[in-house]
């Protein structure tokens, strides 16, 4: 599943290739994604240019003079920069063709992604209006989490994975950050101290920034004609390591299910 770092890497990868380039056409081979792709895009997009590629949560926002194209990669989506000569694969559902000859190609085998169009202020769009702060901005800080959590009995892991609380903390990053901050995933969010939240916030910022930095080293893949976008693997301390020894203390890591997601933690290092 593309997480926030992959989406940010995609944003950085496509932006320099498409900004200021005139759109010639959009070809929609399969409109049935999570929601249908609006057919009106066939008439709206030609002649326009993207001024900016922004990101909010896991939405890529491609901004034109007339409106904004929203792209979400869902469970298995990806975008790549290619050209018209490149053969179309079974899951290559959408091409945006530019006058320069390059193509922005959307591929999505499971079709849980989305491509939508919005005219007007994007921050008021229903998909974005209720989102919490971006984790890598100053709006995301320990006092914010601490204050918000005081009445919460839900588990800390579910609390930080709630996009209304903060966007972009996926399951892997939540597991890793809780390990580094020394907090058990099942602990009630309202019982976590301000000091622990300070450590947790810093860890979330570090782990996401590191993933984006690693992703940045693969950006050249966005220009190769046959390479898939450069996703990446980080070294993981707990995720996927249930039953194995803790890297810090050798205690066997425990694995539990929370909201149908796997949580792995060290019973000695995390309290
Ligand atoms: Zn340990």
Q: Which residues are found with C-beta within 5 Å of the ion, ligand 1? A: 246, 248-249, 251, 266, 268-269
Q: pTM, whole model, 2 decimals?
A: 0.88
- 80 carries an active-site annotation: no
Q: What pLDDT digit, counting tens, does each position of 175-189 carry?
A: 999 999 999 999 999
pLDDT at 220: 46
Which segments of 88-210 are extended strands (E)?
Answer: 92-98, 102-107, 114-118
Task: Write down the catalytic residue from 21, 152, 261, 268.
Answer: 261
Active site residue 3: yes
Whether the Cβ atoms of residue 104 and residue 14 lie closer than 8 Å to each other: yes
User: Rounded to whole angstroms, what are the CA distances from 189 to 125, 135, 152, 194, 197?
Assistant: 29, 18, 6, 11, 10
Q: Would you list the DSSP string of 58-115?
A: TEEEEE-SS-EEEEE-TTT-EEEEEETTSPPPTTEEEEEEETTSEEEEEE-SS---EE
pLDDT digits (tens, 9 = 90+) for 42-81: 999 999 999 999 999 999 999 999 999 999 999 989 999 9
C-alpha 179 to ligand 1 mean position (Å): 9
């Amino acid at each position: 599943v593309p997480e926030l770092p992959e989406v940010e890497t995609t944003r950085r990868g496509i932006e320099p290739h498409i900004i200021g380039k005139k759109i010639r056409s959009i070809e929609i081979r399969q409109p049935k994604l999570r929601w249908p792709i609006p057919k009106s895009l066939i008439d709206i997009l030609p002649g326009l240019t993207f001024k900016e590629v922004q990101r909010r949560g896991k939405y890529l926002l491609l901004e034109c003079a007339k409106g904004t194209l929203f792209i979400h990669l869902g469970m298995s989506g990806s975008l790549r920069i290619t050209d018209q000569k490149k053969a179309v694969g079974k899951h290559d559902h959408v091409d945006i063709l530019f006058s320069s000859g390059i193509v922005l190609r959307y591929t999505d085998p499971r079709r849980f992604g989305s491509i939508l169009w919005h005219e007007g202020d994007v921050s008021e769009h229903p998909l974005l209006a209720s989102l919490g702060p971006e984790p890598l901005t100053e709006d995301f800080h320990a006092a914010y989490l601490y204050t918000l959590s005081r009445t919460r009995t839900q588990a800390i892991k579910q609390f930080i994975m709630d996009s209304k609380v903060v966007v972009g903390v996926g399951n892997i990053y939540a597991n890793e950050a809780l390990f580094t901050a020394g907090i058990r995933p099942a602990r009630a969010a309202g019982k976590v101290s301000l000091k622990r939240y300070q450590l947790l916030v810093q860890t979330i910022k570090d782990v996401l920034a590191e993933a984006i930095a690693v992703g940045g080293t693969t950006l050249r893949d966005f220009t190769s004609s046959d390479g898939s976008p450069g996703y990446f693997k980080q070294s993981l301390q707990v995720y996927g390591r249930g039953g194995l020894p803790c890297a810090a203390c050798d205690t066997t890591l425990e694995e539990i299910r929370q909201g149908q997601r796997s949580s792995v933690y060290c019973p000695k290092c995390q309290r």
